[in-house]
Structure 1
Amino acid sequence: LGQADTGSNRLYFVGKGRLSVVDVHGLGQFRSAVPNTPDVNYAWAIYGTLKIGQAGTYTLCITSDDGSRLFLDGSILVDNEGLHGMVEKCSKTDLSSGSHVLYITGFQAGGGVGMVATYSGPDTGMSKVLVKSGFAPSAVVQNRYFGKCDPTAQGDPTKFTICMFRSDVGLVSIPKIGQADSGNSRLHYIGKGKISSIDIKNVDRFRSVVPGVPGADYAWAIYGQLKIATGGKYLLCITSDDGSRLYVDGPLLVDNEGLHGMSEKCGSKELSAGSHIVYIEGFQAGGGVGMIAQYSGPDTGDEKVLIKSGIVGTNSRYYAQCNPASQNDPSRFTMCMFRSEVGLGRIPKLGDANNGNSRLYFEGRGHLPVVDMHDLRAFRQYIFDTPDSNYVWAIYGQLKIAAEGMYSLCISSDDGSRLYVDGPLLVDDEGLHGMVEKCGQKLLTPGSHTVYIEGFQAGGGVGMEAKYSGPDTGGKMMFMRSGVVPSLSPPSRQYYSQCDPTIQSGDSSQFTVCMFRSEVSIGQIPRLGQADTG
């Protein structure tokens, strides 16, 4: 957009107006702010001030039709680009108290249009609310927790605490546990106990922990600490009969409510290293009962395991001598080689090598500048003892990023391979096949990011490549080089001169919306900084 009215990209500034909140649903609402908004092929820039009263972790979301991006204090936080209907994308960030510059770009090729910006965090009581420029809401939060069952005051983090409640009326959903024994709720506290993991499959198990649990119409609250060693994306799942809900560090993550048999629901969340509060509510109307909580992610080698309070799950992905966390030389990729005594059809568990049962054995390791191998001789150049067939490799190093933004990371292999970035799986190119390329997109911040690649060859031709593209590469696909940032010319102007959020003037209590029209059909957000440049 910064190139509008320059003439080079046929994008022209239309005008600007004010919005109290970013909650636009239809062309008419855009035209109420900027009357000359076109029917099709237009783009917008909306900016204002996100005022934070209480510092902490906040979730910022944008929902749009078509694409949009959200920048906070100059850096991209949420990328919701592309041609699509109303789609929501969110991202978390730690915010200090004070004012933060919010800048949103978006476009519409034609048809229905919408643009919504919301956030949640300490200021909102973890509830999702519309962003209001220059305004920090006062959070009014209904007490979710019963006084004796508050996870923020837990004593022993190595065990889950389970609280049981009985209801005087028939239950069809989870009652408000925070109102138990209040006189009006007809919900009464029974007692509490401790369990090592949440794996309950009958009422007798509940009663072994908390005696006096009735045969029907009861509810529970279970809480403890999920300890994470390796930060990354985790999948958390609850299975219950009847309904249940899972909260992590306050906000709801998984909703498995209702009258039903044993049913599983899952949700994904980026978790940093350290302890995270897990809080689960559930109920049983009558009949069979169950409550199970599991998770998977970097700490578990992406295997689903029971959550144990205060205990880190076992990571079986890495072989002991090939753990990227202990890499000594980040300027080169490290490659480890393994041979299998049985025919391979998929990537085996490298963490099980040399344990006697897997029939998988470590052969050696070496170092390589780039991941670009197209025959067996290339593999043997780095590890001489690479077998003729049925072998597996692990390659890891550091992808160094200078400019924050969305990156495309690609692997090509014969046979299968997988690419993990900072722990979680990003690209899955598994199976028996010739050279096949698969790619995945990820928002990367400046600094070093751990790249870990596994692959295998059953027999015949072999190959393994790893490439990426993004802001650091000028959008060009390049081979990854461990610890090296490619040298490129500086990026073009981001903001249109009359729509620069860093020099906003006037009423800070309202958002400024700038509108642009395009003389060509658009399928992504144009460069607003180049509008009206000719």
Structure 2
Amino acid sequence: MAPNLPPPSSFTIRMYQAETEELTYTPDLAFLNFVQDGKTAFIDFHDLEDFRSAVPNTPSYNYVWAIYGNLDVQKAGTYTFCTISDDGSLMYVDGRLVVNNDGLHGAQESCGGISLSAGTHAMFLPGFQHYGAAYMSAHYYGPDTGRVKRYLRSDSSKAPDPPKPSAWTLRMFKGSGIQNMAQANWRFLTFVGEKTVRDVYVPNNQEFVRLMPGMPDNNFVWVYYGTVAISAPGVYSFCSTSDDGSYLFVDDSLLVDNDGLHGGERRCGSVRMAPGNHAVRIEGFNHYGGAYQDLDYAGPDTRDQYRHMVSLPTAAPPLPPPSQWLMRMYRTNYEPFELVPDVSHMTYVGEAVISYIAFSTLQELRNWIPGTPEAKYAWQVYGKVRIMIPGTYSFCSQSDDGSLVYFGSTLVVNNDGLHGADKRCGSISLSAGDHDVVVVGFQNYGGVYQVFSYSGPDTRGVERWTPSVSAAGPPDKGGKAGQFGNWPPS
């Protein structure tokens, strides 16, 4: 009796398209957009039309194929597998990388060997085409072929379920004069937009602008939020390649400091990780010129090969609310008017909600509070300063004439007296949370000035105008006697 004939060869081919406009390697399918699937008897595609004969909706460029098959091995031994591809391709047998023919290139062959037992072995052959000519073929030889090189066959087209898409949350911000990561602190910049993206890979400014319309071509900041699922415990290396600088955080701890004005530099850091989900965040900036950001990692889950990171869907934290302070204005005819006054002894003029305590002319004050007089007036400003990272903070008041800064009932900055735009600072240790702040200042005669700024862990040491998350003041607009300032003001 003649032996049973093997079943007809059949592979499953799935086609994907990449979001990036410059595909240069075979990416994880979780980073891609599924297009269509089909069947093919053998892997022998010589051009785009060949691909479209199996998958009619194959894109014209920047696409990735994923071919699945199952090889029934009759005779155990060493088998050699080869791919010829344009551009890159890979081949896995039972999850093990056997052929690495990846990268941008013309039709070239690469082979690899593996020892296989008798039985069924799963095959996976991904590859990509960036632009231009396309080619993909696969061959093998070993004991079952009599050591003769033949087209790779598949005894079953059974394929695993498609992977769930990777999902990073990308936020973009813009500013001016950004030259380091301290100045790139997104909490103090202008929010441009938010988008879910598959991968942390942006090769140039144009790709950032494509991802986020409205972005400027310089002085912008990106923040990626993701979650990596770790299966095997051990030491993992995370790398950020960026132009200009970047920070990489794992579980909110800074792991990679790639700060500075530079081209596409790569820096890495290692951390021991337990199984489970771990938060990953990348912040970076571009000052002028080219922009670039790439993330890869290696460890037990990747067999210590550096790969781009698939992220579980991750929500970004709430954006900070717009800064708002409540300013109240008071006037008096008292002489001499030489110190920051207790406003309960003065006449209330009006109030306004302002973004920051920063002004340098009487006209600015009158734009907010029209009844502000020419001379002998005082402002009392209420707000809440939100602290994210506990620690010691420096608060500064630059004013003409004098000013005082209180946290609750504690005087932190004393810049009292008749003087020009003098600046004085004070430090205070603050816990995370919202802190009540009152700034009181006055002007006797002449020019007026007030800027309230701070620095500390939340600002990465950079002095910035102090934001407030609330513009609520006490209901009594007349002020409370003896609470703040001096009376008589001399």
Q: Same fold (TM over 0.5)?
A: no
Q: What TM-score, normalized to structure 2?
A: 0.30
Larger Rg: 2
TM-score, normalised with respect to structure 1: 0.27
